[in-house]
Amino acid sequence: MAQRRGFREYLAGLLAPRERNKTLTALAGAEPVTGSKLPAVQRLQFFLSESVWEPEAVNGRRLELLRADPATAPHEGGVLVIDDSGDRKDGTATAHVGRQYLGRYGKTDNGIVTVTTVWADEQVYYPLDAVPYTPAKYFAKGKNDPEFRTKLVIGAELAVRARAQGFAFRAVVADSAYGDQDGFRAELAEAGLPFVMALRPHRGTWARAADAHTPVEAARALAWGGPDDPGDWRPVTRTFRDGHAETWYAADATLGGWGPDGVRRLVVATADPGTLPDKATWYLVTNLARPGGPREQDSPWPAAPLAEIVRLYGIRNWIEQSYKQVKDELGWADFQVRSDIAIRRHQALVNCAFSFCWAARPGPSRPLSATPPAAGAAGGERGAASGPGAGPVLAPDATRRPGLAHPVDRAAALVDRMVYGAPAPAAASPDRLGDGRPRTEPLPATLIQRTTVNKISNRSRSLNH
């Protein structure tokens, strides 16, 4: 009973609006500093640091519920996104702290980096696993210690774990921090996993002097005579959440041993093949075969046309949006604990709160207000949200029970921000999902349905069993 109470109180604090960072005193509704010794704060501290529950078991139960729910069940048209994110932490006494590159700030600083996986399609996204990276200084033999694991190794292990847990996906997707690594791609291929990952434009490779040596040089070598004479490029329609569509162009390029019919394909997607703008051009490597190519028959996965490669990588934007929710709203980096187990428990609880935000909406299913995404909503982890959906929001529903007023109503408000403040991944078409299933209803009605106060109460109990 004590653990169930701690679970509910912690999630209530994470989901409740707070004017300060969601430290333990904030979660308990106590004054900062002076309230740190209050029983409610100490109870939450004990729940994280001293109790005996396993975060892996709670997370496993959360994933089981997500797989069983038709609104969030994984399918072959989705993707598994791998990424890592760092947060500043002072001192040296906290587990996993070290001076390392923190992607959120774009620089090297003292902090903690966590490798994460997210399952996503055009309509749904949610975190799967989170594993803190432990710097080499914590190991007796440094990077040569058998227990040391790089972020790349952790990411590959999480991808294999996701498949073993029953999460279907069309491909593993990741940014250039992972896509540039030959060893990481090889590990995924050896594990039998398809992938679509970004490359840096100027990532060099060995080639003959007359051939292209970087992805951007390979793209410039493709024929382009304008929209009326696209040459090697094929138009690809990207449809966004607010309803507008953009025509991009995609092509198979050749770089070293990579080519349209090689073991690795280099796919370039851009808004303008003539200028290859930095912020609207993707250089992608994949092991999915080209339709009609010599590798299609023997490939363990269905061949992927250019439009699908673009669609799969476009879904990756969801992980940048998820960082905004877990960090800016749910307090991912605000923990006040030092041990490894307590940090992992906090991360597991934040992921539970995130999942509740998708499921929890009191009252009958209905679409939210048709507010389009804010213009600056796609800034990702490092950017700041702007526009109509970026300010404080209030839950629209009346309180059903005083004891659940914060977690339930706040979840509804957070869902509103998730849906309409999110960057829109490219969809296969306006009326169909990426795996070919018809899009039968708008996004909010698909995600926010069936939930009542009783269901939230039942879910919180089932997670603790």
Per-residue pLDDT of the chain (465 residues; tens, 9 = 90+): 778 888 988 988 888 887 788 888 988 888 888 888 899 899 999 999 999 999 999 999 999 999 998 888 999 999 999 999 898 888 888 999 999 988 778 888 999 999 999 999 988 899 999 999 999 999 999 999 999 999 999 999 999 999 999 999 999 999 999 999 999 999 999 999 999 999 999 988 877 777 889 999 999 999 999 999 999 999 999 987 777 889 999 999 999 889 999 999 999 999 999 999 999 999 999 999 999 999 999 999 999 999 999 999 999 988 888 888 888 788 898 888 889 999 999 999 999 999 887 765 443 332 322 222 333 333 344 343 333 333 333 333 443 443 333 344 445 544 444 434 433 444 433 333 444 444 333 333 223 223 323 333 344 444 434
Residue 432 tokens read as 């169909």
pLDDT, position 357:
78
pLDDT computed for residue 211 by the predictor: 83
Distance separating alpha carbons of residues 457 and 435, to the nearest angstrom: 33
pLDDT of res. 360: 58
Q: In angstroms, what is the C-alpha Rg of the chain?
A: 23
Amino acid at site 172:
V
Q: What is the model's pLDDT at position 318? A: 85
Is pTM beyond 0.85? Reply is no
The region, left, alpha or beta by phi > 0 then psi within -120 to 50, assigned to residue 33 is left
Answer whether 172's CB lies under 8 Å from 188's CB. yes
Residues 6 or more apart in contact with residue 62 via CB below 8 angstroms: 348, 351, 352, 355, 463
Calculate the CA 99 to chain-centre distance: 24
